[in-house]
Homo-oligomer: A and B are copies of this chain.
Amino acid sequence: MPHFFILDVKSDQRVKFIDITAWVRECSAGSGVSEGTAVIFVPHTTAGITINENADPSVPRDIIAGLAGMVPDWGDYLHAEGNSDAHLKASLLGSSVTVIIKDGRPLLGTWQGIFFCEFDGPRNRKVWLNIAGV
Instruction: Name A residues whose Cβ lies closer than 8 Å to a Cβ of B.
Output: 1-2, 4, 35-37, 39, 41-45, 50-53, 56, 58-59, 61-63, 65-67, 69-72, 75-80, 84-85, 87-88, 90-100, 102, 107-112, 126, 128, 130, 132-134
Contact = CB atoms under 8 A, between A and B. Distances in A.
Contacts of A66: 71, 75-77, 84-85, 88
A45 B59 contact: yes
A63 B44 contact: no
A69 B67 contact: no
Contacts of A75: 65-66, 69
A87 B100 CA distance: 21
Contacts of A65: 75-77
A51 B75 CA distance: 21
Nearest to A78: B58
A77 B62 CA distance: 5
Contact of A93 (B78, B84, B91, B111): B91
Contacts of A43: 107-110, 112
Contacts of A51: 45, 91, 95
A1 B132 CA distance: 11
A28 to B, nearest CB: 14
Nearest to A102: B4
